[in-house]
């Protein structure tokens, strides 16, 4: 019998959990939403960053049953059909992606930043992304992508 409802990307999932499962485990293994990655399982790499009520949290140290009924957004929930979110577009346009393994976490951490601070300085971007390791690309193009995304979002026509 399902004993918990988890809301991911505006969709409710009824699950039967024993209470020990992390959000990371539930997303990847129960819901097969493998866009969320993990490179350490101990809150050091940021690859498992998801949004909880719009704020970034680490899924590897979040218990799934603690977030029952709250709004969870994963990387799968960011694009609208074929239309990428402006942050995703910006990361591609600025060449900020190499292997891409850190990207889901990096992009969601960037979204969390831009939602609370639409025009961050370079230093504010560095601080906000300091929990997300990228081993390939040297970060500089990621900073440029976040700045570019901020401009794109600002220039977006208001949504109906």
Partner 1 sequence: MDQNKKENINLNPVGKSVPRIDGKGLVTGQTKFTYDMQLPNMLVGKMLRSPHPHARILNIDTSKAQKLPGVKAVITAKDTHMIKFGSNEYFFPHTVDQLALEDVKVRYIGDELGAVAAVDEETALKALELIDVEYEVLPPVFDPLEAMKPGAPSIHDHCRNNIGVILPVNMGNPDRALKEADYVREDVFYSQSAAHACMETHVCIGQWESFSNKITLWISHQAPFKVREALAKCLKMDLNDIRVIKMASGGGFGGKLEMLPMDFSSCLLSKKAGGFPVKMCYNREEEFCFSRRKHNMIYKLKSGVKKDGTIVAITGEVIADGGAYCSYGPTVLAAATMRIFIVYKIQHIRISGYRVYTNNPISGAIRGFGGVQSGFSIESHMDLLAEGIGMDPKDFRLKNITEPNMITANKMIISSNGLKECIVKAAEASDWDKKRGQCRHLARGIGMAIAADVMGSKMYKAHESAGSIIKMEEDGSVYLFTGAADTGQGSNTVLSQIAAHELGISFQRIRCKAADTEITPFDTGSFASRVTFISGNATLLAAKDAKEQILKVVSQEFKLDHDDLDIKAEKVINKKNQSIILSFDKALDLCYSFNYGRQIIGRGSYNPTTTPIDFRTGEGNVSGSYSFEAQIAEVEVNTDTGAIKLLNLWDAHDVGKAINPSSVESQIEGSLAMGIGYTFFEDLDMKNGRVVNPNFAKYKIPRSVHMPPLHTILIETNDPHGPFGAKGMGEAALLPTAAAIANAIDDAAGIRLKELPFTPEKVLKALKEKNENK
Q: Which residues bind partner 1 (CB under 8 A)?
A: 28, 32-37, 39-42, 44-45, 47, 74-76, 78-79, 84, 88, 91-104, 107, 125-127, 129-143
Distance between first and last Cα of the chain: 40
Q: How far is the CB of 137 from partner 1 (least distance, A)?
A: 5
Residue nearer to partner 1 on the CB measure, 13 or 139 = 139
Q: How far is the CB of 10 from partner 1 (least distance, A)?
A: 16
Q: H-helix or E-strand containing 24?
A: helix 23-25
Q: How far is the CB of 64 from partner 1 (least distance, A)?
A: 18
Instruction: Give the Cα separation of 83 and 9 in Å (integer).
Output: 16
Q: How far is the CB of 133 from partner 1 (least distance, A)?
A: 5
Whether 128 and 142 have beta carbons less than 8 Å apart is answered as: no
Residue nearer to partner 1 on the CB measure, 126 or 152 = 126
Residue nearer to partner 1 on the CB measure, 6 or 102 = 102
Instruction: Give the Cα separation of 15 and 7 in Å (integer).
Output: 11
Q: How far is the CB of 138 from partner 1 (least distance, A)?
A: 3
Instruction: Give the Cα separation of 14 and 3 in Å (integer).
Output: 7
Structure tokens at 21: 């499962």
Instruction: Give the Cα separation of 76 and 34 in Å (integer).
Output: 9
């Amino acid at each position: 019998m399902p004993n918990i409802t988890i809301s991911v990307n505006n969709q409710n999932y009824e699950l039967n959990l024993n209470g020990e499962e992390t959000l990371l485990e539930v997303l990847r293994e129960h819901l097969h939403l493998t866009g969320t990655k993990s490179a350490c399982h101990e809150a050091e790499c940021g690859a498992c960053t998801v949004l909880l009520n719009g704020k970034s949290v680490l899924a590897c140290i979040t218990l799934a049953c603690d977030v029952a009924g709250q709004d969870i957004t994963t990387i799968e929930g960011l694009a609208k059909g074929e239309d990428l979110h402006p942050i995703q577009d910006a990361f591609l346009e600025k060449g900020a992606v190499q292997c891409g393994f850190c990207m889901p976490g990096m992009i969601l951490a960037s979204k969390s930043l831009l939602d609370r601070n639409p025009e961050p300085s370079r230093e504010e971007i560095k601080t906000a992304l300091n929990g997300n390791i990228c081993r390939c690309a040297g970060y500089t193009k990621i900073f440029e992508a976040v700045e570019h995304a901020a401009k794109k979002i600002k220039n977006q026509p208001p949504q109906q």
